[in-house]
Structure 1
Amino acid sequence: MSRLLPVEDAQARLLALRDPLPPENIAFSESLGRYLSHDIVAKRDQPAAPLSAMDGYAIRFADLPGPWTIAGEIPVGAAPAHPLAAGSAMRIFTGAMLPDGADTVVIQEDVAADGARLTLTGDGPAAHGAHIRARGSDFIAGAPLLPAGTRLHPGAIAAAIMGGAAQLGVGARPRVAILTTGDELVQPGRALAPGQIPDSNGTMLAAMLAGEPALVSLPLHIRDDREILARVLKDLARRHDVIVTVGGASVGDHDHVRGALDDAGGTIDFWKIAMRPGKPLIAGTIGDALLLGLPGNPSSAFVTATLLLIPLVRHLAGARDPLPQVRQAALAVSLGPGGQRRDYLRARLDGGLLTPFDGQDSGRTFPLAAANALVIRAIGAAPRDAGEPASYIDIA
Structure 2
Amino acid sequence: MLDFDVAQSRLAAAGKPPSISESCTLDQARGRVLAQTLFATVDMPPADNSAMDGYAINYADYTPGKRFPVQQRCYAGDPAQPLQKGNSIRLFTGSVIPEGADTVVMQEDGAEVDNEFEIHRPPAQGSHVRPQGEDVHAGDQIVAKGTLIQAAQIAMLASQGYAEVTVYAPLKVGILTTGDELIQPGQPRSPEQIYNSNGPMLAAMVENMGAKVVHLLHAADTEESLHSAFSTLLASCDLVITVGGVSVGEKDLVKPVIGQLGGSLDLWRVCMKPGKPVALAHSGTTPIVCLPGNPVSAFAVFTLLVSPLIRTMQGRTQVVPDVQYGRLSTDRKFNDKRDDFLRVRAEYSSDGLSRLSPFTQQGSGIISSLPWASGFARVPANTVMQGGDVVAYYDFQHWLA
Q: Give TM-score scaled by structure 2 length.
A: 0.91
Q: CA deviation at 1:205?
A: 1.0
Aligned residue number for residue 390 of structure 1: 391
| Counterpart AA for 2:58 | R
Aligned residue number for residue 168 of structure 1: 165
Q: CA deviation at 1:78?
A: 2.7
Aligned residue number for residue 284 of structure 1: 281
Q: CA deviation at 1:137?
A: 0.6
| Counterpart AA for 2:36 | H
Aligned residue number for residue 71 of structure 2: 71
Answer whether contact 1:27 1:167 (CA < 8 A) is retained.
yes
> What does residue range 97-112 of structure 1 map to in structure 2 within 5 Å?
97-112=96-111
Aligned residue number for residue 134 of structure 1: 131
Q: Distance in 2 between matches of 1:42 and 1:64?
A: 38
Please state whether the residue corresponding to 1:238 is helix, strand or coil.
helix
Please state whether the residue corresponding to 1:130 is helix, strand or coil.
coil
Answer whether contact 1:36 1:147 (CA < 8 A) is retained.
yes
Provide the alpha-carbon RMSD of the alignment: 2.0
Q: CA deviation at 1:287?
A: 2.5
Answer whether contact 1:20 1:171 (CA < 8 A) is retained.
no
Distance 1:100 1:269, change over 3 A: farther
Q: Which moved more, 1:190-199 or 1:56-65?
A: 190-199
Aligned residue number for residue 48 of structure 1: 46
> What does residue range 113-128 of structure 1 map to in structure 2 within 5 Å?
113-120=112-119, 122-125=120-123, 127-128=124-125
> What does residue range 325-344 of structure 1 map to in structure 2 within 5 Å?
325-334=322-331, 336=333, 338-344=335-341
Q: Which of 60, 68, 73 pairs up with 1:62?
A: 60
Q: CA deviation at 1:305?
A: 1.0
Aligned residue number for residue 31 of structure 1: 29
Please state whether the residue corresponding to 1:43 is helix, strand or coil.
coil
Answer whether contact 1:213 1:314 (CA < 8 A) is retained.
no
Aligned residue number for residue 305 of structure 2: 308
Please state whether the residue corresponding to 2:386 is helix, strand or coil.
coil
| Counterpart AA for 1:69 | P
Aligned residue number for residue 299 of structure 1: 296
> 2:176 aligned with 1:179, yes or no?
yes
Q: CA deviation at 1:395?
A: 2.5
- Cα-to-partner distance string for 1:254-311 (whole Å, 9 max, x where unaligned): 1111111111122335533222211211111122322111110111111011112322
Aligned residue number for residue 216 of structure 1: 213
Structure 1's consecutive aligned runs of 4 or more residues displaced over 6 angstroms after TM superposition are none
Aligned residue number for residue 343 of structure 2: 346
Distance 1:61 1:268, change over 3 A: same
Q: Which of 376, 379, 382 pairs up with 1:377?
A: 379
Distance 1:295 1:102, change over 3 A: same
Q: Give unmatched runs, 5+ long, in structure 2.
A: 349-353
Q: CA deviation at 1:87?
A: 0.6
Answer whether contact 2:13 2:312 (CA < 8 A) is retained.
no
Please state whether the residue corresponding to 1:281 is helix, strand or coil.
strand
Q: CA deviation at 1:388?
A: 1.5
Q: Percent identity?
A: 38
Q: Which moved more, 1:268-277 or 1:208-217?
A: 268-277
| Counterpart AA for 2:76 | V
- Cα-to-partner distance string for 1:125-161 (whole Å, 9 max, x where unaligned): 2x11111001111111122222222222212211122
Answer whether contact 1:23 1:170 (CA < 8 A) is retained.
yes
Q: Distance in 1 between matches of 2:279 and 2:305?
A: 11
Q: Distance in 2 between matches of 1:175 and 1:198?
A: 26
Q: CA deviation at 1:208?
A: 1.8
Aligned residue number for residue 263 of structure 1: 260
Q: Distance in 1 between matches of 2:358 and 2:114?
A: 72
Answer whether contact 1:59 1:106 (CA < 8 A) is retained.
yes
| Counterpart AA for 2:286 | A
> What does residue range 183-222 of structure 1 map to in structure 2 within 5 Å?
183-217=180-214, 219-222=216-219
Q: CA deviation at 1:347?
A: 2.2
| Counterpart AA for 2:364 | S
Answer whether contact 1:20 1:318 (CA < 8 A) is retained.
yes
- Cα-to-partner distance string for 1:333-370 (whole Å, 9 max, x where unaligned): 25545433222122232343222234322223222232
Please state whether the residue corresponding to 1:105 is helix, strand or coil.
strand
Q: Distance in 1 between matches of 2:266 and 2:82?
A: 71
Q: Distance in 2 between matches of 1:158 and 1:197?
A: 46
Distance 1:31 1:57, change over 3 A: same
Q: Distance in 2 between matches of 1:364 and 1:7?
A: 22
> What does residue range 79-94 of structure 1 map to in structure 2 within 5 Å?
79-80=79-80, 82-94=81-93
Q: Distance in 2 between matches of 1:41 and 1:29?
A: 19
Please state whether the residue corresponding to 2:36 is helix, strand or coil.
coil
Q: Distance in 2 between matches of 1:238 and 1:349?
A: 42
Q: Give TM-score scaled by structure 1 length.
A: 0.92
Distance 1:194 1:72, change over 3 A: closer
Answer whether contact 1:307 1:324 (CA < 8 A) is retained.
no
| Counterpart AA for 2:74 | I
Q: Distance in 2 between matches of 1:172 and 1:239?
A: 14
Q: Distance in 1 between matches of 2:257 and 2:268?
A: 14
Q: CA deviation at 1:75?
A: 2.3
Q: Which of 342, 356, 366 pairs up with 2:358?
A: 356
| Counterpart AA for 1:62 | A
> 2:250 aligned with 1:253, yes or no?
yes
Aligned residue number for residue 95 of structure 2: 96
Q: Which of 257, 272, 275 pairs up with 2:272?
A: 275
Answer whether contact 1:231 1:264 (CA < 8 A) is retained.
no
